[in-house]
Amino acid sequence: MAGTRAEGGPRAAGLVLAGGRGRRLGGADKGLVPVDGEPMALRAARLLRRVAAPVAVSANRNAGRYAALGLPVLEDGPWAGKGPLAGVLQGLRWSPHPWLVVLPCDTPALAPAAVEALWARARRGDVRAVALEAEGRLHPLHCALRAELADELERWLGAGGRRAGAWVEGLAPARVRLEGQGAALNVNTPHTLSRARRGRPPVLVITGFSGAGKTTLAERLIARLAAEGLRVAAVKHTHHDVELDRPGKDSHRLRAAGARQVLLATPRRRFLVAEPGHAGDPALERLLDTLDLGAADLVLAEGFKGAPFPKIEVHRPALGHPLLAAGDPDIIAVAADGPVEPAPPVPVLDLNDIDAVVRLVRAACALDGARGGEGAPA
């Protein structure tokens, strides 16, 4: 992974901009609007964690809901109402590192490589600002800024400056040019939001080393969410060669005859046994295609350390395993049964406090608008 978690070199904090009024989305708080079940601010935070830590969100409403996502909340302070640069200023003041990497919340389709390229250019150290450029247009709020620019920005705001493009261009930023990603940089209208959504329910991965208690936590989560009326689909990864079919059964005879896929259907259940025809661990993205996603409010997967989905790491310090959250930007929380040292860049939950874990899952997967919820996100 690129960025600040490596030893030495420049370091950066991250800032998600979610302080806008969302007028083109009917006044919705864009950072909390879900795309494939994940609030857009959380997706942006996961992108930023590839290169930056800590990561905060600039927001002027719903502070409690952002905090439930595990994100420190920065308000615009004395410059509230003066545009997104007010949030950038607060981020520059807050950053504990020499650089601040900024993303608007409405970039759920932005490729991780774009954020890594942005930070790689900043790390060269010969400029004060770097910004993304796509289709010949500068995107000034997709940027990396030196934290020392805070005083300069405050003077600019005090003189009546408001336009982010004018201020960033005045810094003579280095530009990182993206090919074919212009449409990924803003999801701020009903049309672009519809295009970004793939109609998939949220996917959450429970990950960790063997023996940490992944299955136990997944079992407790499923029981709680099912009791609340949510429909949960589960995907389990194992390194063992498991045989569910039995010799002598008709379905086994069909497989033995050479069928690559056998679907056994009963009035109450369906069983699919498939031989993929190639070795190696299956990709979770491909496995999702085999599920009836229309009948699920949440897909809970266990294992799949490398899957590009939000993850909760189950960690038991006494086992002596390294903390995956130290190097995996997709981990949004750690559920542990004791103190975690060094502290990870994400919240640490008590593994035995299932109420706290459920609250985080509901927030991170935007489940309050699903079955059993208490209303759709604002």
Annotate 14-25 with b (16+ C-beta within 10 A) or e (fewer): bbbbbbbebebb
The pLDDT tens digits for 88-142 are: 999 999 999 999 999 999 888 888 999 999 999 999 989 999 999 988 889 999 9
- Model pLDDT, residue 80: 83
Strand order across the 129-134 sheet: 73-74, 55-58, 12-17, 99-104, 137-146, 129-134, 174-178
The pLDDT tens digits for 117-128 are: 999 999 998 999
- Contacts of 41 by beta carbon, 8 Å cutoff, 6+ apart: 16, 18, 30, 31, 32, 57, 59, 66, 69, 71, 105
Q: Please give the C-alpha separations between residue 223 and each of 180, 227, 336, 351, 374, in angstroms, as whole numbers.
A: 43, 6, 20, 16, 19
Q: In terms of pLDDT, which residue wins out, 181 or 298?
A: 298
The pLDDT tens digits for 324-334 are: 999 999 999 99
Q: What is the mean pLDDT of residues 357-368?
A: 93
Q: Identify which of 201, 22, 175 has the alpha carbon closest to the alpha carbon of residue 106.
A: 22
Does the pLDDT at position 1 exceed 90?
A: no
User: For residue 292, what pLDDT band results from cuts at 50, 70 and 90?
Assistant: confident
- Model pLDDT, residue 361: 96
Q: Identify which of 361, 316, 363, 308 has the alpha carbon closest to the alpha carbon of residue 335.
A: 316
Does the pLDDT at position 373 exceed 50?
A: no
User: For residue 198, what pLDDT band results from cuts at 50, 70 and 90?
Assistant: low
Does the pLDDT at position 375 exceed 60?
A: no
User: How far is Cα 119 from Cα 99, in angstroms, rounded to an integer?
Assistant: 9
- Model pLDDT, residue 358: 96
User: How far is Cα 169 from Cα 298, in angstroms, rounded to an integer?
Assistant: 43
Q: In the 8-state DSSP scheme, what is residue 87?
A: H
The pLDDT tens digits for 220-260 are: 999 999 999 999 998 887 654 556 667 878 777 777 777 76
Phi, psi of 48 (to 5 degrees): -65, -35
Mean pLDDT estimate for the chain = 85
Given this chain, do its domains 12-196 and 203-239+282-369 carry the same CATH topology?
Answer: no
User: For residue 265, what pLDDT band results from cuts at 50, 70 and 90?
Assistant: confident
Q: What is the mean pLDDT of residues 286-315?
A: 89
The pLDDT tens digits for 157-191 are: 999 999 999 999 999 999 999 886 555 556 655 54
Q: In terms of pLDDT, which residue wins out, 26 or 253?
A: 253
The class that CATH gives domain 12-196 is alpha beta
The H or E element that residue 103 is part of is strand 99-104
- Model pLDDT, residue 242: 52
Sequence spans of domains, the chain: 12-196, 203-239+282-369
Does the pLDDT at position 370 exceed 60?
A: no
pTM for the complete prediction?
Answer: 0.83
- Model pLDDT, residue 27: 65
Does the pLDDT at position 78 exceed 90?
A: no
Please tell me the CATH superfamily of domain 203-239+282-369, with its number. P-loop containing nucleotide triphosphate hydrolases (3.40.50.300)
Does the pLDDT at position 354 exceed 90?
A: yes
- Is 274 in contact with 172 (CB distance < 8 Å)? no
The pLDDT tens digits for 307-352 are: 889 999 999 999 999 999 999 999 999 999 999 999 999 999 999 9
- Model pLDDT, residue 28: 76
Does the pLDDT at position 193 exceed 60?
A: no
Q: What is the mean pLDDT of residues 17-23?
A: 73
Burial class (CB in 10 A: 0-12, 13-18, 19+), 71: buried
